[in-house]
Amino acid sequence: MDQMIALRRGEMSWGLLARSIGPRVRLLRNVLASRTEGGGGPDDLPTGTLTVLALVSANPGTSQTLLARRAGINKSALVGIVDQLERRGLVARDRSAVDRRRNSLSITPAGESALKQLHAAAWPAEAPIREALNPGEQALLVSLLDRALASMEGSPARQQQMGRAA
């Protein structure tokens, strides 16, 4: 009976997924993505541009391999994103002085400008979260998400997803 009342109010039980993390993280990601799509930045940028530009800006000279790992993007997909960003003059790709087989990435002034535009457009999408959580809870959430990500990065499934052998 309580379940029927909840359904009439538009609430649903998670059922078997009541203690599952993945569906909630995926739902939050989808809600945030839907609130930021198509707004505020240069037109026709590939999905993941904000993350890629922010990481390259914070880590000048990073390799594409490290960037793919941190951004959670398959290496092949990342190459396509970097190709597009390079063509638009938002990132520069040079051979690493340390390892000539490796590309070293840096953000250009135009990339910094695009990053600021994209971040300004995306920031308001997180406002309801910042309003619901006090600063300590926000820091705890970020810390817990970082720990969860770190725990998954070495898993065989994650290695396979990212195109690396376990």
pLDDT digits (tens, 9 = 90+) for 71-112: 988 999 999 999 999 999 999 998 877 777 788 999 999 999
d(CA 124, CA 11): 26
Q: Nearest CA to 41 among 97, 103, 113, 95?
A: 113
User: What's the confidence (pLDDT) of residue 48?
Assistant: 86
pTM for the complete prediction? 0.77
Tell me the domain boundaries of the chain. 21-35+45-132
Domain 21-35+45-132 architecture: Orthogonal Bundle (1.10)
User: What's the confidence (pLDDT) of residue 166?
Assistant: 39
Cα separations in angstroms, 153 against 24, 48, 69: 19, 19, 8
Q: Identify any residues that bridge with 105 across adjacent strands, giving them in sequence order.
A: 62, 93
Residues ≥6 apart with Cβ < 8 Å to 28:
none
Rounded mean pLDDT of 7-18?
81
pLDDT digits (tens, 9 = 90+) for 100-150: 778 899 999 999 999 999 999 889 989 999 999 999 999 999 999 999 988
Cβ pair 107, 56 in contact under 8 A: yes
- pLDDT category at 155 given cuts 50, 70, 90 is low
pLDDT digits (tens, 9 = 90+) for 32-80: 888 876 555 566 788 889 999 999 999 999 999 999 999 988 999 999 9
Q: 46 in helix, strand or coil?
A: coil
Report the side by side order of strands in the sheet with 103-107. Answer: 62-63, 103-107, 91-95
Mean pLDDT of the chain: 85
In terms of DSSP H, where are the helices of the chain? Answer: 2-8, 22-36, 49-58, 64-71, 75-87, 109-122, 127-132, 135-153, 156-161
